[in-house]
């Protein structure tokens, strides 16, 4: 019997009615003759609500205590889904991340999975049960409860699929796959039938929250096929790309072609200039970054020159912003700024930077709608412009028009 892992996101378990629908879908899978492991997110906006509650108590909530609080969300959902499956006559048992053997490092709020020891899950599957797992959480070697960063239930599902040797991992959401842009922002966006791990990872890291970036990284490492589908879609048939997106290893198809546009709204841009940044360290970057590490803040897109550092910081897992600002201000005064009016806009595709044509075409498309980039970075799979946050959605639509709706020839 093949093992199937199915993950249901927050909107899919937002109320009792939807929880019943999830239970029915799980039972259908079971009746097809599969062993089923279900990973659930917290109901609806529970995680945001819990975070808001913590912020009412303190502007700088301690990361360990946040993890104690936030893991409660998935725990509620797992018990309700398990009860709903039982109500339909299924034999289900729910487990927390710790009980399922998800072992992480001890970096609270955005821990990484180091190892999965799924013995209890395997025992229950062997007994014929459906196992329901609380996503987004694990336990460190020091036995501290941890969370995996926002969107981390996807990561739980893929890591569990790898540890159990599952046939595939279904990520079930309110959207029926990965689109060429967030369909809420760009109504002309189209579903992508098949896409490579690398492109999906870049889309996720650029803000396409339909899949978590770490989850894709795991899937790639272990060769797990991900089926991104709507919870309301039928179970995957002979061709799961017909009504969903399949993420797996693919040879680059049309190198140079943009596959999608993504954006991240909630970022900060750190700009640090000498002499304030030079301090005791040999480079300004090392000096400033020590403060980020001391506060457990992960950054992306670092650029360091001899007298200047810029760093993009995602606000997603940053919960002590005031404390960070105070620490930077005390150390560097006016030489460091955290700009809070920008968003990141990216186009993704294998080989898109083989020449600068895509970069120039994108920058021209933005100029036509009078959007000027504050900053620009590239990697082999991605071009990222930082633009005014208030123009971000418009910028996504402009690039989607240029690269997806009227793409022209692929750039070699």
**Binder of ligand ASP out of 61, 97, 135, 244 (CB under 6 A):** 135
Q: CB count, 10 Å around CB of 249?
A: 11
Binding site for ligand ADP (CB under 6 A): 9-12, 41, 151, 173-175, 178-179, 181-184, 208-210, 260
Q: Is residue 135 part of the contact set for Mg ion (CB under 5 A)?
A: no
Give the whole-angstrom CA distance, residue 137 versus residue 67: 8
**Binder of Mg ion out of 61, 101, 151, 343 (CB under 5 A):** 151
Give the whole-angstrom CA distance, residue 373 versus residue 263: 14
DSSP 36-49: EEEEEPPSTTHHHH
Give the whole-angstrom CA distance, residue 386 versus residue 23: 42
CA-angle at 202, arms to 197 and 204, nearest 5°: 95
**Binder of ligand ASP out of 34, 150, 229, 400 (CB under 6 A):** 150
- 47 contact, one of ligand ADP, Mg ion, ligand ASP, none, CB 5-8 Å limit per kind: ligand ASP
* Residue span binding ligand ASP (CB under 6 A) among the ranges 40-48, 165-173, 258-266, 332-340: 40-48
CA atoms lying within 13 Å on the CB side of residue 173: 20
The nearest distance, CB 214 to ligand ASP, in angstroms, is: 11
* Residue span binding ligand ASP (CB under 6 A) among the ranges 39-47, 110-118, 168-176, 188-196: 39-47
Contact 359, 151 (CB under 8 A): no
Give the whole-angstrom CA distance, residue 301 versus residue 318: 16
Provide the mask over 354-373, with x wherever binding to ligand ASP is found by CB under 6 A and - wherever it is not.
--------------------
Q: Is residue 153 part of the contact set for ligand ASP (CB under 6 A)?
A: yes
Q: Is residue 136 part of the contact set for ligand ASP (CB under 6 A)?
A: yes
Q: Is residue 63 part of the contact set for ligand ASP (CB under 6 A)?
A: no
Q: Is the peptide bond before 275 cis (omega within 30 degrees of 0)?
A: yes
As a 3-state breakdown, the chain gives helix, strand, coil percent values, each rounded to 5, of 35, 25, 40
**Binder of ligand ASP out of 61, 151, 240, 244 (CB under 6 A):** 151
Q: Is residue 207 part of the contact set for ligand ASP (CB under 6 A)?
A: no
Give the whole-angstrom CA distance, residue 257 versus residue 405: 12
Task: Of 70, 71, 75, 74, give the one whose Cα is nearest residue 55.
Answer: 70
Residues binding ligand ASP: number (CB under 6 A):
13
Which positions lie near Mg ion, rule CB under 5 A? Answer: 9, 151
> Where do contacts with ligand ASP occur on this chain (CB under 6 A)?
9-10, 41-42, 47, 73, 135-136, 150-154
């Amino acid at each position: 019997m093949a093992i199937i892992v199915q993950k249901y996101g927050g909107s899919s378990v937002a109320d009792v009615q939807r929880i019943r629908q999830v239970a029915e879908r799980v039972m259908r899978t079971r009746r097809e003759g599969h062993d089923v492991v279900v990973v659930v997110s917290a109901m609806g906006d529970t995680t945001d609500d819990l975070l808001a509650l913590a912020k009412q108590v303190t502007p700088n909530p301690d990361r360990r205590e946040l993890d104690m609080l936030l893991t409660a969300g998935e725990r509620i959902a797992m018990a309700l889904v398990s009860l709903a499956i039982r109500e339909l006559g299924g034999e289900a048992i729910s487990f927390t991340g710790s009980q399922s053997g998800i072992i992480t490092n001890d970096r609270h709020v955005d821990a990484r999975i180091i190892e999965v020891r799924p013995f209890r899950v395997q025992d229950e599957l062997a007994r014929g049960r459906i196992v329901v797992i609380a996503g987004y959480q694990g336990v460190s070697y020091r036995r501290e409860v941890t969370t995996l960063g926002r969107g981390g239930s996807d990561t739980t599902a893929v890591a569990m699929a790898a540890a159990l040797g599952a046939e595939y991992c279904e990520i079930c959401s309110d959207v029926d796959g990965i689109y060429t842009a967030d369909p809420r922002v760009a109504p002309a966006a189209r579903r992508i039938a098949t896409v490579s791990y690398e492109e999906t990872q870049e889309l996720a890291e650029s803000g396409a929250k339909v899949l978590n970036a770490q989850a894709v990284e795991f899937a790639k490492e272990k060769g797990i096929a991900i089926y991104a589908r709507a919870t309301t879609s039928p179970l995957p048939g002979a061709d799961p790309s017909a009504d969903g997106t399949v993420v797996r290893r693919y040879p680059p198809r049309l190198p140079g072609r943009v596959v999608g546009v993504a954006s991240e709204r909630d970022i900060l841009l750190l700009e640090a200039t000498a002499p304030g940044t030079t301090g005791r360290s040999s480079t300004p970057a090392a000096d400033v970054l020590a403060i980020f590490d001391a506060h457990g803040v992960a950054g992306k897109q670092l650029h360091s020159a001899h007298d200047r550092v810029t760093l993009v910081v995602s606000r997603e897992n940053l919960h002590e912003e005031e404390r960070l600002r105070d620490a930077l201000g005390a150390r560097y005064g006016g030489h460091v700024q955290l700009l809070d009016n920008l968003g990141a806009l990216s186009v993704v595709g294998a080989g898109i930077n083989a020449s600068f044509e895509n970069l120039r075409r994108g920058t021209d498309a933005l100029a036509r709608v009078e959007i000027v980039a504050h900053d620009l970075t590239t990697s082999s799979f991605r071009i990222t412009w930082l633009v005014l946050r208030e123009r971000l959605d418009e910028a996504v639509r402009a690039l989607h028009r240029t690269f997806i709706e009227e793409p022209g020839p692929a750039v070699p």
